[in-house]
Every structure is written in structure tokens, then in C-alpha cells.
Amino acid sequence: MKVFRDAVPGLVAPPGAVVTIGAYDGVHEGHRAVIARVRELASDRGLETALVTFDRHPASVVRPESAPKLLCDLDQRLELLADTGIDATLVLAFDEPRSKEPAEDFVREVLVGALRARVVVVGQDFHFGHQRQGNVALLRRMGAELDFEVVGLDLVGTDHHPAAEADRVSSTAIRAALAAGDLPAATRMLGRPHEVRGTVVEGDGRARELGFRTANVAVPDDICLPADGIYAGWYLRPDGVPRPAALSLGRRPTFYEHADTSLLEAHLLGFDGELYGEAARVRFVARLRDELKFDSVEALAAQIGQDCDQATAILSGLQPGTIRAGPAPPTEPVA
């Protein structure tokens, strides 16, 4: 997959491309259905495939007070997009000037000028440009002028077919499932376990007192975490090898009465090495229980032992996930 960072003219060679546009947060099953349609149309017409996305969620600029937490950061998004088989991705900086760009300018400069769009594939409810004035109707009017076709798609379900509203896959629905602790629903819509990334930092030493060493993973504030609780999951070190882990996400009420932020701790099952300072990837596979307050350290340690046994039993019969465990295949950074 080629990755472009600037919408200069002629990024795609003639005869042009089938193009789709969006935040693509999570690259979930709905997104994959759109990209599959893009690839099908491109194959039928002998065209390239291209995708336009942004370096941050547009809402973080136009309405930062209500911007959603992200299902993945930009690096992970590009890895996931590379797995879809898309030929090229154009990552545009979304800043205040971009937010005020007229929709017509975006079409002429980005879709037609840079990517030579011959077909544009978007959701029927897609909006873009200043004050969301761009939509499918505008694209069709401009397509008649600038010689490109527009395909508007309904939201789909996890089977990649049009779905009833309650069953439609969206980033918003996935965030809601994660917030409710409904990991099976989130996993179905994502098509894989939800993964977060961060750096292992030093904790307060409680793990040694309990007899279970943990990696304290500092996840960026703008990343979406599941509901507080205890989980079975996979922990990936920089070598990309998934290791089974019992995960604690919460505020540790046994020790702290009024903690205001949740902490992600991973106990790697059967592993006792040093992890401080390294990059970690954590995948949530199954929710074991709610976070609880215990009357004593001994009672908490006994429960953690049971959690580890349950996590081991769940993970022993599973594959680490449906996406690649190791680093992404090389992409070609062009600009």
C-alpha cells in the first residue's frame, strides 16, 4: 500500500482510481465491506483503488468538547488498511483551515486533481467540507461535471450485507459496546479483538505485594478503552509474539478510594521478564468479571489466582486474533 501525505496533483496515474473517503476509525467490518466494494468496482473497470482519510478525527477540530475516543491510532489504522488490499491511502492533515474548506474545492483538488477519481464510493449519509455541506447529492452533481461516478452505500451488518438499523456496524456502535462491557458485540463488529497500544511504565509496586507481576500500560487519553473490569487477552511485545495475559482495567478500589482514572495492568501468564519502557499492544478477548473491592490483600490475591486460571482456560483454545500478530508489511511512504 502506498501512503501519501499531501494532495499534490497526479498521485494516481491514468486512467485513475475508485476512491473512498472517511475517518475509518477502527477499520471495522463495515469499513471492510466498503473497501471490498471499492476493489470490486476497480477490478471491473481496470482502475486503481484509493482511500482518503485524516491524521486525526475531524470532530477533534470542529467539536473538540464532544470528540469521540478513537478505536485505533493512525499507525494502527494504516496497518489495518494495508491488510485490506487498498492500493493507496492519502492521509490529510485535518486542521482548522481544512475544516473550513468548501466541499467543492475538496472534490476538485483531492478527489479529481490528486487521485483522478473515476468512481467515488461513500455511505449514503456521508458529509464533508465546511459545515458538512458536501454530501452524496453534491458529489453526483460534480461527478456529472467532472466525469466521475458516485456509489452511495447503506450501512452494513457483520456479514457485509445491508442491515436493519439495530444491527448496523459503525464506530459509534463499537464504542457503545465497549463502554457497556459487551466485548462479544465489539469483537463481532470489529472483526477482531479490540486492541490498544501504549508504553509500559512503572507502577506503585502493589503487584509484588500481591505476588503477580504486571505491566502497567500507559494508553493515550484519546484511545477508547472497554469498561472497567477483568479480562483475558493477548499481550504483544515489540517482537510481535502474542502472549496470553490476565488484564485488569480499573481504579483498584481495594487500595484507592477515589482514583479518577483507570489503569490498564497486564499479567503475562507464564512470563517473568522485564517489560519497563517497551511498546505494548493489548488485545481484549473475554470479560471475566467486574472490578471489585476486597476486604484484604489476601482475598484479592486469591481472586487474581482464579482470574489467571480462567484466562488460561479461555485463551488456551484460541488463536491470538484475526489480524497479523507481527509488524505490518512494509508500506511505501511517498510523500
| Helix/strand/coil for 270 | coil
pLDDT tens, position by position, 233-286:
999 999 999 999 999 999 876 666 667 788 999 999 999 888 999 999 999 999
User: pLDDT band at residue 73, thresholds of 50, 70 and 90?
Assistant: very high
Higher pLDDT, residue 259 or 142? 142
- CA–CA dist 126, 138 (Å, integer): 11
Would the pLDDT of 319 be above 90? no
pLDDT tens, position by position, 165-216:
556 899 999 999 999 999 999 999 999 999 999 999 987 666 666 678 899 9
Q: pLDDT value at position 301?
A: 87
Q: pLDDT value at position 163?
A: 54
Percent of the chain scored above 90 by pLDDT? Answer: 76
Long-range contacts formed by 247-253: CB under 8 A, 24+ apart = 247/282, 247/284, 248/214, 248/291, 249/225, 249/291, 250/291, 251/291, 252/206, 252/291, 253/291, 253/292, 253/293
Domains in the chain: ranges and CATH: 2-172 (3.40.50.620), 194-315 (2.40.30.30)
Residue with cell 478510594: 257
Buried b (16+ CB within 10 A) or exposed e, 91-115: bbebeeebeebebbebbeebbbbbb
> Mind giving me the DSSP string for 69-129?
PBSS-HHHHHHHHHHTT-SEEEEE---HHHHTS-HHHHIIIIIIIIT-EEEEEEETT--BS
Would the pLDDT of 20 be above 50? yes
User: pLDDT band at residue 55, thresholds of 50, 70 and 90?
Assistant: very high
Q: pLDDT value at position 242?
A: 95
What's the predicted TM-score (pTM) here?
0.89
Q: How far is CA 333 from the centre of its chain?
A: 21
